[in-house]
Every structure is written in C-alpha cells, then in structure tokens.
Amino acid sequence: MRYVDEYRGRDFVRSLTEKLHNLSSRPVRIMEVCGTHTMSIFKHGIRQMLPKHVQLISGPGCPVCVTPSGVIDAFVELATRPEVIITTFGDMIRVPGTGDSLIQARAAGADVNIVYSPVDALNLAEQKPDKLVVFLSVGFETTTPTIAATILEAVRRKIDNFCIFPANKVMPPPLKALMQDPELQVDGLLCPGHVSIISGSESYRFLVEDYGIACVVAGFEPTDILLSIIALVKQVQEGKALVENCYGRVVTAKGNVKARTIVDTVFTPVDSEWRGLGSIELSGLTLREKYSSFDITKRLNIQIAPSCEPRGCRCGDILKGISQPPDCPIFGNRCTPGTPVGPCMVSSEGTCAAWYKYGFLN
C-alpha cells in the first residue's frame, strides 16, 4: 500500500535503529504528545529499539483522557433526560465519571449512540424532530473543523433540535503549561501529526523561542517515528532548538488555513479544565454567540461540578508525563481494559491502554 509499506520496510527500520544507536550516549528525554504516537510506538516495538539513554515519555495527547470527570458526569446526567439522545465517538462511552459511565447509563435505558461523524448526529436529529440530539464535542484541532462545519450545515438545513456539548481543546496552551512545570524535565517534543495537519508545524515556534525545546513533527509509521527521534536527538546533542517537520508529505508550515477559518467562524477560545493539568487559559473552545443556540449547556443551563480523580488512579500524573502506568497502584489489577477506573485505560489512544496491551502483558 503506497505511503504505508515504504515506511515499514524492515531494512529501513534496521538502518535507522543502527543510526540512532551510533549517536552520542548523552541522555535524552522526549515526550510524545499525541496518543496515536503512543500506540504506534508500542505497536511497532519502538521502545525496545531505542538505546537506553533515549527515554520516551507520554503526554496529554488523548482528548478523551484529558476530559475531566466533572464534564463526564454532566454527559451522563444529560443522557438520563428522556427528551435527549446522546451521540458520541466510541471511546467516550466507556469512560467512568465519579459514578457511572455512558455505557452504564445506556444499560439503564438512556438513548446513547456511537457515531462516526457529527454529521451522523445531525442526520439523526433530522429524523427525530421530537428529540433533542446532542453530540458530545470532544477532540483537538483534528476533529474540530468537521464539528464547526456541521454547525454551519445545521443552520443551512434549519435543524434546531441538534446541539453539541462543547468540550473541544487546543494543544498549544497545555504544551506551554507543561514547559512551565518544574516536575517535568524533557529535552524535546515529538509533536502530533494529526493536529499539525490543521495547525501547521509553525504553531510550535513559541516552544523553541520561549523555552528552548527541540520540536519535531512526526508521522505514525515506524520510520516516521524513528526519523523524528533521530532529529530530536541530534538537536539536543548539538545544543539546538528547532521546529523540524518530518511529516512533510502531509503537514505544512501553515497547516490547513481553510479548516481553521471554519473553526474561527463558529468557535471562540475559552479557559478550559484538563484532567491532571487543571484550568488552562484559552485552551478550550466554545460556540460564538451567533451559534450559542447549538450549545446544550446554555440551552438547558447545565452546570459542571468540580472534578476529582477516582481513588487510587494516577491518570492525572500520567497525562502530565511525571508518572508512567506501572507507577499506578491499580494499574493491571483493579484497573484493566475490561474494568477501567481511569480514562487512560479506556481510550484507544490512552497511555495505560497502550502499556497494558503492548507492554505490561509482555
């Protein structure tokens, strides 16, 4: 398959691994920001390929995982209302709040549906005019443009029983917060590929200029990741801090300007709470006043309760990169994919799920 097979060639992977091992042995700590990177790194055994002095740390790159428990509780409470149909992407349905999850609410009779696009939710609203169809709008820059476009389509089609629960977030502010955290010591960032398609590689320029952190945008195949790690190690060894784009076949410097324009038309930045990181200035998105009728929190005056971590769960520290899943006392025993306690074990991009599936059991 073109653009896949050539980035998985065994000989190419071997040569890159050898090149990495031949570089200087100076310790280098790299954070992969994207949850898809975390899964790909484990899936392809990249951690086992690295020299001991190169350490990978997972960051807050899973939108499901960083959604605080108070918001999840609000999702579940909303699902119990008889006039409401909940629609969501698959991962969110199993994430526990301080009490039940959406899948438990569905088992108790709530109308909760998994959709593959917000347009599916809009079409359902058109089919069910006597119901209020709510799409749980969780995601980073990658999914937000389609949600914004769906709002505009709802306006065009005059569908007024469709709403979203705005919980979208953007990546630059939490990266800034992480760089200011004295507990986290990293030399470089493996920057997210999917987000960068929209935001562009230059969106990380402030990390280089303000914090002297090496940044490399990476793809998701084994050679993509290894090439990006090599670039980061070279920067650190040479005392440089640059923004390099190793995913040039997809990511440009400016990103997708048209997609960002659609987002800016519909959404506006707002302070937002992140699990593990707390409230971060202008790190979330809410609907502009013109489109506020599509905001279910305003339409039904929904209040979000303060969040708290499940007892024993260390998802917050794992998302900050200061702990790894085996550090958590409930990882692999009380918390498993079958009986998840925290969101990092639920999501397909969750760090705990990756460790359990590809690391812990092996």
Note whether residue 288 is domain-resident. Answer: yes
Interhelix angle 257-266/144-157, rounded to 10 degrees, is 60
Full domain range(s) for residue 144:
64-170+256-299
- Only one residue has tokens 């050679």, namely 223
In the chain, the number of structural domains is 1
Q: In which element (H, E) is residue 224 found?
A: helix 222-237
Of 361, 343, 322, nearest to 42 (Cα)? Answer: 361
Q: Per the domain annotation, does 68 fall within a domain?
A: yes
β-partners of residue 285 are 269
Residue 146 lies in a domain: yes
Query: Does a structural domain hold residue 123?
Result: yes
Query: In this predicted structure, what is the pLDDT of residue 360?
Result: 57
Tell me whether residue 97 is in a domain: yes
Residue 86 lies in a domain: yes
Domain annotation covers residue 138: yes
Q: What is the per-residue pLDDT across 222-232, written as a single tens digit (0 to 9) for each?
A: 999 999 999 99
Query: Are the C-beta atoms of residues 59 and 321 closer than 8 Å to each other?
Result: yes
Query: Under DSSP, is residue 99 helix (H, G, I), strand (E, B) or coil?
Result: coil
Both tokens of 333, joined, read 């025993």
> pLDDT tens-digit profile of 314-354?
999 999 999 999 999 999 999 999 999 999 999 888 999 99
Angle of CA points 141, 147, 151, to nearest 5°:
140
Can you give the CATH number for the domain in which 267 is found? 3.40.50.11740
Q: Is residue 194 part of a domain?
A: no
Q: Are 322 and 291 in contact (CB under 8 A)?
A: no
Question: What rounded mean pLDDT belongs to the chain?
Answer: 94
Q: Exposure of 26 by Cβ count < 10 A (0-12 exposed, 13-18 middle, 19+ buried)?
A: exposed
Q: Tens digits of per-residue pLDDT, 302-318?
A: 999 888 888 889 999 99
pLDDT one digit per residue (tens) for the chain, 362 residues? 455 656 666 788 899 999 999 997 889 999 999 999 999 999 999 999 999 999 999 999 999 999 999 999 999 999 999 999 999 998 899 999 998 999 999 999 999 999 999 999 999 999 999 999 999 999 999 999 999 999 999 999 999 999 999 999 999 999 999 999 999 999 999 999 999 999 999 999 999 999 999 999 999 999 999 999 999 999 999 999 999 999 999 999 999 999 999 999 999 999 999 999 999 999 999 999 999 999 999 999 999 988 888 888 999 999 999 999 999 999 999 999 999 999 999 988 899 999 999 875 44
Other beta carbons less than 10 A from residue 127's beta carbon = 9
